[in-house]
Amino acid sequence: MPKLIVIDRKGHEKAVEGEAGLSVMEVIRDNGFDELLALCGGSCSCATCHVHVDAAWTEAVGKPHEDEADLLDSSDHRQANSRLSCQIPFSDALDGLKVTIAPED
């Protein structure tokens, strides 16, 4: 199984395994990171699964699509590497992906 490296809001880093085919949000949620609320369940309508993608991985995950970018614009913590984790499909190609859970808005 591919690994995802997650940095929580306190700065603690933890590597977790995730099933390819899930979203990054689902992998984070399923591994007990309660601070990632993901209120809409992955339908790209709330931005509570906002993460900052490590610079080494921004090209691999790609840029946000228009709806995602609009939601990210509502965050005070948007950065150039911001993504909604529900919109990043997790795969073997993303083994080692590192993300930081964005501060809560």
Partners of 83 in beta bridges:
51
Sketch the domain layout of the chain as residue ranges: 3-101
The pair phi, psi for residue 14, each rounded to 5°, is -145, 130
64-102: per-residue pLDDT in tens? 999 999 999 999 999 999 999 999 999 999 999 999 999
Q: Return the CATH superfamily for domain 3-101.
A: Beta-grasp domain (3.10.20.30)
What confidence score (pLDDT) does residue 2 get?
98
51-66: per-residue pLDDT in tens? 999 999 999 999 999 9
pTM above 0.85, yes or no: yes
